[in-house]
Structure 1
Amino acid sequence: MTTPFITLVGAGGFGRELINWCEDAARASGTPRVTGFLDADASPLDGFGYGLQYRGTDADYAPREGELLLVSIGDPLVKQRAVASLRARGARFASVVHPTSVIARSARLGEGVVVCPLAMVSADARIGDFVAINAMCSIGHDVELGDFSTLSAHVDITGHVKVGECCFFGSGARALPGVRIGERARIGAGAVVMRHVQPEATMYAAPAKKL
């Protein structure tokens, strides 16, 4: 039987983070190791010493026995398109949950989910497919996160918030209890969402000012 292995889809900054988090997960729980990457560019890991094999572009992809793909793309719409293309070629996908994260017993995680260090997913939360939850995020009780959404570091989604598909949250953004955020919305870094957000809206906080 072939030992499972992971190929990253995308090898930018987030991809390099996931290489490290996968190594932690492999040591803690036997998660398959990352051995290669797909990317439009063969050189993004040059000089970093990771030693992964370049396996071509998404368009070149053909599944191999034991291979699981881990999507390391931050932009939700780009991520959605990549998954559709790769799935049509027969891809199978991995999820990775960092061992320092806290996942409630009653929470549910979809396919292809990434949960980074020190993140928390609370009671009865529902995390959709291919959602990325970056470091030190907090997902409150009864939250629903739509497929392909991406949370940058330190995002706080409080109880009973409902987030549509393909949403993006910048670092330190916060959604207050019970708000609804429509699909493809973008919430800027540091923004506090206090009211419902329409689909495809962009919400942002005021920039810092000199006193």
Structure 2
Amino acid sequence: MSQKNKKNAVIIGAGGHCRVIASMLISQKKYEFIKILDFSEPKEKKILNINVEKIDNNFEAYNKKSFDFYLAIGDNKKREVWWKKLNEINISCPSLISDKAIIERNSEIGEGNIICPNSYLGVLSKIGDNNIINTGSIIDHETIIENNCHIAPGSTIAGRVTIKNNCFIGAGSVIKDNLLISEHSILGAGSILLNSIDKKKCLYVGVPAKFKREI
């Protein structure tokens, strides 16, 4: 792509996840320039040499054909709010896939996903919209992850698992094959899940993972 035809990128959020997204965008060299917008007056003026500014919410000022937006927001609920807000005004939120991720054939990836380095999406897996597949996560064959989920670093999800909307899968956790994770569920870091989470809004933790409380 010639320099004059390159688009521009805006990252919303200046926390830790912002650095991952910024690094991916820099390495791919797809954008003429990148800007970071934070929710409050930024403590840092630059992150990875990218300017950081406070959000002014005047998104109509952005030429929708020239800008792509990426949500650097780890919290599912907050990220979903911003996803809906940007979609309502037709802001482009494409998926960002690391060059170091492995995406098998016939997998499906929706919009607004962040597929981080060293993650793996198995054959016939399906990823909906606005998910984070974090560093080193394994999503095996025919697994379905719906929308607004965060799969934390180092998670292993075996084949034919279904993870419903707004779930958080903690770092280093393991999910056995053919299980269901119901909406708004949380699996604690390092847990091993051997049975489905059939009820919504539940926290499971431990080895093996057991019901802890409703959330």
Partner of 1:89: 89
Answer yes or no: is the 8 Å Cα contact 2:42–2:54 preserved in 1: no
Partner of 2:151: 151
Q: Which one has a larger percent strand, Structure 1 or Structure 2?
A: 2
Aligned equivalents of 1:63, 1:184: Cα separation in 2: 34
Answer yes or no: is the 8 Å Cα contact 2:6–2:32 preserved in 1: no
Partner of residue 6 from structure 1, selected from 9, 13, 22: 9
Aligned equivalents of 1:63, 1:93: Cα separation in 2: 16
Partner of 1:201: 202
Moved more, 155-164 or 80-89: 80-89
Q: Percent identity?
A: 19
Answer yes or no: is the 8 Å Cα contact 2:97–2:114 preserved in 1: yes
| Partner SS, residue 189 of structure 2 | coil
Answer yes or no: is the 8 Å Cα contact 2:45–2:52 preserved in 1: no
Moved more, 175-184 or 32-41: 32-41
Aligned equivalents of 1:12, 1:44: Cα separation in 2: 11
Partner of 2:34: 35
Aligned equivalents of 2:77, 2:71: Cα separation in 1: 12
Q: Displacement, 1:34?
A: 5.7
Partner of 1:69: 69
TM-score by length of 2: 0.87
State the one-letter code of the partner of 1:61: F
Partner of residue 24 from structure 1, selected from 21, 27, 34: 27
Partner of 2:138: 138
**1:189–1:20 distance in 2 versus 1, CA, 3 Å:** same
| Partner SS, residue 165 of structure 1 | coil
**1:55–1:46 distance in 2 versus 1, CA, 3 Å:** closer
Aligned equivalents of 1:100, 1:180: Cα separation in 2: 28
Q: Displacement, 1:78?
A: 1.0
Aligned equivalents of 2:206, 2:187: Cα separation in 1: 9
Answer yes or no: is the 8 Å Cα contact 1:6–1:94 preserved in 2: no
Equivalent pairs, count: 201
5+ long unaligned stretches in structure 2: 208-215
State the one-letter code of the partner of 1:81: V
| Partner SS, residue 62 of structure 1 | helix
5+ long unaligned stretches in structure 1: 207-211
State the one-letter code of the partner of 2:15: G
Higher RCO (CA-CA < 8 Å; seq separation 6+): 1
**1:77–1:64 distance in 2 versus 1, CA, 3 Å:** same
Partner of 1:60: 58
**1:191–1:139 distance in 2 versus 1, CA, 3 Å:** same
Partner of 2:124: 124
TM-score by length of 1: 0.88
**1:49–1:102 distance in 2 versus 1, CA, 3 Å:** closer
State the one-letter code of the partner of 2:44: L
| Partner SS, residue 52 of structure 1 | strand
Answer yes or no: is the 8 Å Cα contact 2:38–2:52 preserved in 1: no
